[in-house]
């Protein structure tokens, strides 16, 4: 009979001299980069969040490393992080055998929600110091991320305003029916003024006080009259409560068209990820990011479904974060408005930003359309246009338009002299009677002309070729590779905190992927901090991390 020989197997054996925890972790594993980078990042702002007395808490650097490494590996649940701290050697090494539970991890994330943005800024400045980003150019784009809120808890502005107007009519009718002198006086004095819940509450209190001072009626008609007046007071109190509810809705809307009851900071928007393909709106946030070399350099969350009104605030966020402005800004046509062009020019930014018909105007059909305003001859000295029939379109007025952010654009209005009987009227304008009029925003046309020159230049062509593989590639990796498609918290402050952790994890993951390529580049040579081996440069050697991060900190 053949005899088999196996290696000894003893699951419960005792090790007299324990080995290092990280002996089974590869020297070039990204977990070492996470540990080294966080060890050399200043977290004094997070330290101040803890008390000097009481039981010793877990070290914030340990928790920060654990959460970031979890996000790098698509682990966003605190319970899954707790499980990984007991089963995964990478987490065990990062935590130093500490095992905080899911409540502790979640409490840590909520504790640092106001400070994690500063840590993200430090990480981007570290990338800048290592030459991975320059912070001189910013590629901007936005996407909509669904909120955790229930999609059926919507509040719409138009519905609230319509119901509030109906309620005000009912209040006026009810007050006119009450035969008390106090109510009549209030109705007369506030006839042209909208009632407030406080005024209605005051009226109800005075009516009840008046009813309590009246002698109790003895006849049947008197008792019925008292019951009727008491019923009217109760109805008025209910209307005051309902009016207070509507006013609360309008206050939470704050210029928006909708919000969710379970997450008042979320706005209902149409998402690209529509499983039912029915165009249903869902509560979410408009996430704006700025990237360079596919690193996230800035981010912001906005309630506006469109991108146009977010650009000024977003560019201001970059300036306040790094105390400088991006010299070059590249974005798609969703950002090409007069307000944005004016803001970028005033702050010394080169706007490589398309406008709505940038590609369309380069087509032959657009250039050959003699009826379009862009193709009409304009005499700048005498300020008139020439229509296709040769008539002068003189300036007849000025038009002012204010957008949602308060920016006022000025357009000149031009009118043709006589269009009756014109053989080209069929293609010139669609008005059945009268002469053709057109509003021309000369300032916007000038901004577009400058943008067109920049976009068609050699540098502009380079930016246009890189823009689709900058923020859009980041969104693709975020949603499909890292499965970050929906926020897991309520409220803008917590959602911002969660994405700050994700953005840091994304940058660390991208940094770990780029460092081996850095060392193999014949131009750049080995990454600073790498040591030479007989087989060539090696990046993620354990001793290198301390030297590398010490140089980063310096």
3-class DSSP string for 451-480? HHHHHCCHHHHHHHHHHHHCHHHHHHHHHH
Which sign, positive or negative, has the C-alpha torsion 172, 178, 179, 184? negative
Indicate if 100 and 182 belong to the same structural domain: no
Indicate if 163 and 252 belong to the same structural domain: yes
Q: What phi and psi values does residue 275 have, to the nearest 5 degrees?
A: -65, -35
Question: Using an 8 Å Cβ cutoff, are 295 and 510 in contact?
Answer: yes
Question: Using an 8 Å Cβ cutoff, are 69 and 61 in contact?
Answer: no
* 164 located within any domain: yes
**What 8-state DSSP symbol labels residue 320?**
H
3-class SS at 511? helix
Question: Using an 8 Å Cβ cutoff, are 497 and 113 in contact?
Answer: yes
Beta bridge partners of 329: 138, 351
The residue ranges of DSSP E strands in 243-376, in sequence order, are 258-260, 267-270, 281-292, 295-302, 328-331, 350-353
DSSP conformation letters of 363-418? SHHHHT-TTSGGGSEEETTTTEEE-TTS-EEEEEEEEEEE-TT--EEEEEEEEES-
pLDDT of residue 68: 96
Q: What's the rounded Cα separation, in Å, for the pair 523 and 285?
A: 42
**CA proximity to 354, closest of 372, 326, 329:** 329
Indicate if 106 and 185 belong to the same structural domain: no
Indicate if 175 and 252 belong to the same structural domain: yes
Q: Of 442, 459, 493, which residue is a domain's last?
A: 442
Question: Residue 406: which region, alpha, beta or left (left: phi > 0; alpha: psi -120 to 50)?
Answer: left
Question: Using an 8 Å Cβ cutoff, are 451 and 336 in contact?
Answer: yes
**What 8-state DSSP symbol labels residue 23?**
G
pLDDT of residue 477: 93
**CA proximity to 379, closest of 411, 409, 414:** 414
Q: What's the rounded Cα separation, in Å, for the pair 265 and 495?
A: 10
Number of domains in the chain: 3
Q: How far is CA 540 from the centre of its chain?
A: 35
Indicate if 178 and 248 belong to the same structural domain: yes
Q: Retrieve residue 524's tokens.
A: 């750049």
Indicate if 166 and 105 belong to the same structural domain: no
3-class SS at 331? strand
* 40 located within any domain: yes
* 357 located within any domain: no
CA distance readout (Å), 7 to 4, 10, 16:
10, 10, 20
* 138 located within any domain: no
Indicate if 38 and 99 belong to the same structural domain: yes
Indicate if 159 and 256 belong to the same structural domain: yes
Indicate if 77 and 165 belong to the same structural domain: no
* 537 located within any domain: yes
Domain residues for 404?
A: 373-442
* 542 located within any domain: yes
**CA proximity to 76, closest of 495, 365, 477, 362:** 495
Q: Of 242, 260, 278, which residue is a domain's last?
A: 260
Q: What's the rounded Cα separation, in Å, for the pair 189 and 202?
A: 14
Q: Of 260, 277, 301, which residue is a domain's last?
A: 260
pLDDT of residue 277: 63
**CA proximity to 371, closest of 331, 319, 423, 316:** 423
* 101 located within any domain: yes
Which sign, positive or negative, has the C-alpha torsion 69, 70, 76, 82? negative
Helices 116-129 and 492-520, packing angle to 10 deg: 20
Q: What phi and psi values does residue 110 have, to the nearest 5 degrees?
A: -70, -30
Q: What's the rounded Cα separation, in Å, for the pair 70 and 68?
A: 5
pLDDT of residue 194: 66
**CA proximity to 172, closest of 199, 134, 150, 135:** 199
**CA proximity to 329, closest of 368, 379, 288:** 288
- Longest CA–CA span in the chain (Å) reads 117
pLDDT of residue 473: 92
Question: Using an 8 Å Cβ cutoff, are 134 and 297 in contact?
Answer: no
Question: Using an 8 Å Cβ cutoff, are 250 and 160 in contact?
Answer: yes
* 317 located within any domain: no
Q: What is the pLDDT along the chain (554 residues), one digit of tens a residue?
A: 677 777 777 787 777 777 788 888 888 889 999 999 998 888 888 988 888 888 888 999 999 999 999 999 999 999 999 999 999 999 999 998 899 999 999 999 999 999 999 999 999 999 998 889 999 999 999 999 999 888 888 889 999 999 999 998 888 888 887 755 555 555 555 444 567 888 888 888 888 888 887 788 778 888 888 888 888 888 888 888 999 999 998 998 888 889 999 999 999 988 877 655 666 788 999 999 999 999 999 999 998 888 889 999 999 999 999 998 999 999 998 899 999 999 999 999 999 999 988 888 888 888 888 888 888 888 888 888 988 888 888 888 899 998 888 889 999 999 888 887 788 877 887 777 778 888 899 999 999 999 999 999 999 999 999 998 999 999 999 999 999 999 999 999 999 999 999 999 999 999 988 876 555 444 344 444 333 333 333 333 333 444 444 444 44
In terms of DSSP bridges, do strands 350-353 and 328-331 run parallel, antiparallel, or are they unpaired?
parallel
Q: What's the rounded Cα separation, in Å, for the pair 336 and 332?
A: 7
What residues contact 424, with CB distance under 8 A and at least 6 apart?
371, 387, 388, 389
pLDDT of residue 222: 81
**244 exposure class (CB count in 10 Å sphere: 0-12, 13-18, 19+):** middle
Q: What pTM, to 2 d.p., does this model score?
A: 0.83
**CA proximity to 353, closest of 519, 141, 192:** 141
């Amino acid at each position: 009979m053949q005899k088999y020989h196996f290696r000894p197997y003893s699951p419960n054996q005792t090790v007299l001299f324990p080995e290092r925890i990280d002996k089974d972790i590869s020297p070039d594993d990204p977990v070492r980069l996470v540990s080294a980078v966080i060890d050399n990042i200043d977290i004094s702002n997070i330290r101040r969040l803890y008390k000097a007395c009481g039981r010793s808490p877990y070290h914030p650097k340990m928790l920060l490393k654990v959460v970031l490494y979890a996000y790098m590996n698509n682990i966003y649940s605190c319970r899954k992080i707790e499980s990984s701290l007991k089963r995964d050697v990478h987490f065990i090494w990062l935590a130093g055998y500490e095992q905080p539970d899911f409540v502790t991890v979640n409490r840590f994330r909520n504790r640092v929600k106001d400070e994690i943005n500063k840590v993200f800024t430090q990480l981007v400045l570290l990338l800048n110091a290592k030459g991975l980003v320059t912070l001189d150019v910013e590629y901007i784009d936005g996407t909509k991320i669904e909120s955790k809120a229930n999609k059926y808890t919507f509040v719409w502005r138009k519905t609230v305003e319509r119901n509030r107007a109906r309620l005000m009519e009912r209040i006026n009718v009810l007050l006119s029916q009450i035969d008390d002198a106090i109510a009549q006086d209030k109705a007369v004095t506030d006839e042209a003024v909208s009632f407030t819940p406080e005024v209605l509450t005051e009226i109800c209190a005075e009516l009840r006080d008046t009813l309590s001072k009246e002698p109790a009626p003895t006849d049947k008609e008197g008792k019925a009259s008292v019951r009727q007046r008491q019923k009217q007071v109760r109805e008025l109190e209910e209307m005051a409560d309902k009016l207070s509810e509507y006013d609360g809705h309008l206050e939470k809307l704050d210029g928006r068209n909708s919000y969710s009851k379970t997450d008042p900071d979320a706005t209902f928007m149409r998402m690209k990820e529509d499983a039912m393909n029915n165009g249903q709106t869902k509560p979410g946030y408009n996430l704006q990011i700025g990237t360079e070399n596919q690193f996230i350099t800035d981010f912001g969350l906005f309630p506006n479904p469109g991108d146009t009104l977010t650009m000024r605030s977003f560019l201001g966020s970059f300036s306040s974060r790094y105390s400088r402005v991006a010299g070059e800004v590249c974005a798609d046509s969703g950002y090409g408005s007069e307000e944005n062009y004016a803001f970028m020019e005033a702050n010394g930014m080169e706007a490589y930003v398309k406008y709505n018909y940038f590609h369309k105007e380069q087509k032959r059909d657009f250039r050959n359309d003699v009826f379009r305003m862009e193709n009409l001859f304009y005499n700048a000295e005498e300020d008139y246009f020439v229509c296709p029939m040769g008539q002068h379109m003189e300036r007849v007025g000025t038009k002012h338009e204010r957008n949602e952010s308060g920016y006022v654009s000025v357009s000149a209005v031009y009118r043709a002299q006589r269009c009756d009987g014109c053989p080209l009227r069929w293609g010139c304008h669609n008005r059945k009677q009268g002469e053709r009029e057109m509003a021309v925003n000369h300032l916007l046309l000038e901004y577009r002309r400058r943008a067109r020159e920049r976009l068609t230049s050699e540098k502009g062509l380079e930016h246009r070729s890189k823009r689709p593989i900058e923020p859009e590639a980041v969104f693709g990796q975020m949603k499909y590779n890292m499965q970050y498609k929906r926020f897991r918290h309520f409220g803008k402050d917590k959602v911002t905190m969660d994405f700050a952790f994700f953005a840091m994890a994304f940058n660390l993951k991208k940094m770990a992927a780029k460092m081996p390529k850095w060392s193999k580049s014949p131009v750049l040579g080995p990454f600073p901090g790498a040591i030479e081996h007989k087989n060539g440069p090696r990046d993620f050697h354990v001793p290198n991390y301390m030297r590398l991060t010490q140089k980063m900190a310096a």
